[in-house]
């Protein structure tokens, strides 16, 4: 099992450690409910160094990115970040990722921990350009600081005015004496930042931010809280909502597919899927029962299986269960009544709008493109 450079820090903080995608990672420190609340009301700090960083560089770096991913990266400024997808020939989603333009001819692809090796292999196999791919996952660490107080906390540690940083933009800054890329982005729906640094600097940066945030209530958060936070705001998780069996059409991700930019792997299949309509649709489910639909459970209408739950949890912010599920298109309308088979018992659910929860992000943090 691999360990991030912050592993000893997590142990010192008495985290409950679980293995995830080949890494020993903190599931929670004090408890998921407390950690979620901290991010929604103050700030949380996360070690997400298990995520992968694949660098693409060279004069044809953009051509490689454009040919393999679905979004249009051609107009990105240096420092800009963009959500995009890596798809196969069938339009199935190999991974979802954030691409950062880190230099004139360099892009950093931040990918899911479970998919680093598959993505890297895919990139190399399908590289028909002179661009070079480099997997720097183990040399780098990522620390996320998320929540309404994240700017005020991080500013105390940074040498540049991070308040000027717009959402999905990044700059190189110093946190204490360590240099890192500070991006205004995250996976929680809150205002927040993700810091990309050298692995050996991660402990110093973490400690510096913890010190600065102590009086504001900064709270170390594990993967448990991270999963709940993303689900509350309806963000998909690769492996659950998006897989190689689902297309961007199914997952309502056509906003990151730009067929007009030119050819890319999966373009034709995605256009065909769009023309024929989704086979199944991703929806939000809510229930008034004291039960929680979970990943893999069957969605039923009138005794017939019409879909399955992809993610489900108790939402501490809303005080009730929330879930995402794929259902047959006729049942995808808001207000549809469906049942979920929860361990042999039928639980009455309703199709609801997502996000389940919408954080109040300060307007200056939202990109005005």
**Which residues of the chain form contacts with other proteins (CB under 8 A)?**
16, 27-28, 31-34, 224, 228, 290-292, 294, 313-314, 316, 343
What is the nearest approach in angstroms of other proteins to the Cβ of residue 147?
A: 18
Residue whose CB is less far from other proteins, 34 or 198: 34
What is the nearest approach in angstroms of other proteins to the Cβ of residue 361?
A: 24
CB count in 10 Å sphere of residue 105? 14
What is the nearest approach in angstroms of other proteins to the Cβ of residue 11?
A: 15
What is the nearest approach in angstroms of other proteins to the Cβ of residue 228?
A: 6
Question: What single DSSP character describes residue 238?
Answer: B
Residue whose CB is less far from other proteins, 205 or 292: 292
**Mode of pairing for the β-strands spanning 281-287 and 298-301:** unpaired
What is the nearest approach in angstroms of other proteins to the Cβ of residue 295?
A: 10
Residue whose CB is less far from other proteins, 84 or 297: 297
**Mode of pairing for the β-strands spanning 345-352 and 337-342:** antiparallel
CB within 8 Å of 137: residues ≥ 6 apart: 51, 52, 53, 54, 116
Q: How far apart are CA 322 and CA 338, in angstroms?
A: 14
State the alpha helices, DSSP H only, in the chain. 7-12, 32-41, 61-68, 116-125, 150-155, 202-213, 223-232, 267-276
Residue whose CB is less far from other proteins, 33 or 361: 33
Residue whose CB is less far from other proteins, 84 or 313: 313
Strands (E), 121-190: 132-135, 140-146, 170-175, 178-183
What is the nearest approach in angstroms of other proteins to the Cβ of residue 321?
A: 9
Residue whose CB is less far from other proteins, 34 or 252: 34
Q: How far apart are CA 209 and CA 158, in angstroms?
A: 10
Residue whose CB is less far from other proteins, 157 or 311: 311
What is the nearest approach in angstroms of other proteins to the Cβ of residue 291?
A: 7
Sheet-wide strand order for 170-175? 170-175, 178-183, 192-198, 140-146, 44-47, 219-221
Reduced to 3 DSSP states, what percent helix, strand and coil does the chain have, rounded to the nearest 5? 25, 35, 40
| Encoded tokens for 257 | 């597919």
């Amino acid at each position: 099992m691999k360990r991030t450079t912050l592993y000893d820090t997590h142990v010192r903080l008495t985290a409950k450690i679980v293995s995830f995608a080949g890494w020993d990672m903190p599931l929670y420190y004090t408890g998921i409910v407390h950690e979620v609340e901290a991010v929604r009301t103050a700030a949380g700090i996360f070690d997400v160094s298990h995520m992968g960083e694949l660098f693409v560089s060279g004069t044809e770096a953009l051509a490689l990115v454009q040919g393999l991913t679905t979004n249009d990266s051609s107009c990105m400024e240096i420092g800009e970040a963009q959500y995009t997808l890596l798809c196969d020939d069938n339009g199935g989603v190999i991974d979802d990722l954030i691409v950062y333009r880190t230099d004139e001819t360099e892009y950093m692809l931040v990918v899911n921990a479970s998919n680093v090796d598959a993505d890297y292999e895919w990139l190399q196999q399908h590289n028909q350009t002179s661009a070079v791919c480099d997997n720097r996952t183990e040399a780098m660490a990522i620390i996320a600081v998320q929540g309404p107080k994240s700017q005020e906390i991080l500013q105390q540690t940074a040498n540049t005015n991070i308040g000027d940083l717009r959402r999905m933009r990044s700059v190189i800054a110093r946190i204490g004496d360590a240099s890192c890329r500070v991006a205004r982005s995250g996976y929680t729906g809150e205002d927040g930042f993700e810091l990309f640094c050298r692995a050996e600097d991660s402990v110093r940066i973490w400690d510096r931010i913890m010190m600065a945030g102590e009086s504001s209530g900064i709270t170390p958060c594990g993967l448990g809280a991270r999963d709940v936070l993303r689900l509350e705001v309806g963000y998909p998780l690769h492996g659950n909502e998006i897989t190689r069996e689902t297309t961007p059409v199914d997952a309502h991700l056509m906003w990151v597919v730009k067929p007009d930019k030119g050819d890319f792997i999966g373009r034709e299949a995605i256009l065909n899927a769009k023309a024929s309509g989704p086979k199944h649709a991703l929806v939000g489910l809510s229930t008034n029962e004291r039960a929680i639909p979970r990943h893999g459970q069957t969605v039923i209408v009138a005794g017939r299986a019409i879909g399955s739950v992809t993610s489900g949890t108790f939402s501490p912010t809303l005080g009730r269960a929330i879930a995402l599920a794929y259902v047959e298109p006729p049942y995808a309308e808001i207000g549809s009544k469906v049942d979920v088979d929860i361990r042999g018992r039928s639980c009455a659910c309703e199709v609801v709008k997502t996000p389940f929860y919408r954080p109040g992000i300060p307007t200056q943090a939202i990109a005005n493109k």
